[in-house]
Structure 1
């Protein structure tokens, strides 16, 4: 949505995003292969960002066309993946990818999906998808409860984050995703995932988030002090567990 500057708000956070954002479990790809996706299918990674989701499918043998409107993120992905012959990137948006009709077999949308115009993007995915293809939408959903660290981190974001609640509320629940796919819905799966982070990596992970106040904001320094205190109180042998559930939804969008 325009008020949250979805195509621009990560431009000054790219290096932290590259270094500290989590990847996705290979089990996600295996689950899609169980639905009939084949390694020779051409993948369009829409809202590809710095290439984390593209790398997952490249490692599984797919050819990947990454579609990303943010130039800084696209450049970071090119530095990482540009030497891979099965990878190419386009400057395009989710609602106007620039890809030809029926040209890809699997459309994936990862962590960026909650920024899309869901009605427009549903039609765009249907347009670019081949007759036998599928759409897969997935993201890492940070666990909010279960450990003192996870619960303290959520409190920290509510206290110091900038537009955190507005961003968090954009993630869809299972029922909303099923409705978005409609009659073409094939199902969903969830896989546990996580990172072990020392204090430096935890700070980088926080600062990769678009709602974390940057230096100069009145919340920035208090947030850093609160993060240090939280880490010191909850760390185990120098790290904390940043736990996720990777949720994936699959189907077609043209039925």
Structure 2
């Protein structure tokens, strides 16, 4: 399956159960890169609009670039109330945006899908003079017993889980993307709380989780249910995240 099609059947779960970004990112970027309400933002690989939302709430004009039709249409449905929101069919390597038109280029969880050499070239093309790039994603933690159990489940049942982990985007890879500029890194704490239905939806929002009809689907859901009831407290379990934010110029 093409990378751009992996989430076509997962849009509803993605919207409901993927983590959002801490609102503290906005004042941080105001200080770090000079973000204001007048900053024109391009959100690359915008998906259903989760990464665009903080900037729209800040009053920014946001061009959401997304190659997957189902996810792009969902973002239009969810964010049409924002006059500054525009969703466009495009990709990181070819955004369709005019040259020198963007003040701040944002890439959320989608960054690991990009051809990074071609993407850096495109970012240089669309960015205005002194434009900044912000890369950000939520890194799910696996320190507590429930989190370790969930991680083990993904390794057992995930179709290509190890290849999809954002923590595979290492420091050297980021340094190469931003060179010769210096990377600035900031970490925020984030969390989600789930009942079992939501935990199941969170699992199925991931492109590596087998869907209904797959030979291991029923076994996976049974293992998830066993994990939930082993560690739930008052019918809930919790994911902890570190939201990583990297800023620089390309």
Q: TM-score, normalised by structure 1?
A: 0.95
Matched, 1:212 2:212: no
CA contact (8 A) 1:64 1:86 kept: yes
Q: CA deviation at 1:169?
A: 6.7
Report SS of the residue matched to 1:212: coil
* Correspondence for 1:119: 117
Task: For 2:216 and 2:110, locate their aligned partners in 1 and report how far apart those are by CA, in whole Å.
Answer: 25
- Which runs of structure 2 are paired with 1:1-255 in the superposition (5 Å)? 5-35=2-32, 36-144=34-142, 146-168=143-165, 171-253=168-250
Q: CA deviation at 1:84?
A: 1.3
Task: For 1:31 and 1:171, locate their aligned partners in 2 and report how far apart those are by CA, in whole Å.
Answer: 25
Report SS of the residue matched to 2:164: helix
The one-character-per-residue Cα deviations of 1:53-79 (angstroms, maximum 9, x if unpaired) are 111111122110100010000010011
Task: For 2:174 and 2:27, locate their aligned partners in 1 and report how far apart those are by CA, in whole Å.
Answer: 21
Report SS of the residue matched to 2:38: coil
Moved over 3 A (4+): none
Q: CA deviation at 1:186?
A: 4.3
Task: For 2:132 and 2:235, locate their aligned partners in 1 and report how far apart those are by CA, in whole Å.
Answer: 42
CA contact (8 A) 1:114 1:170 kept: no
RMSD, matched Cα:
1.2
Report SS of the residue matched to 2:30: helix
Q: TM-score, normalised by structure 2?
A: 0.96
The one-character-per-residue Cα deviations of 1:78-120 (angstroms, maximum 9, x if unpaired) are 1100121111111001100000111010000001000000000
Structure 2: 5+ residue stretches without partners: none
Q: CA deviation at 1:189?
A: 0.5
Q: CA deviation at 1:170?
A: 7.1
Report SS of the residue matched to 1:11: coil
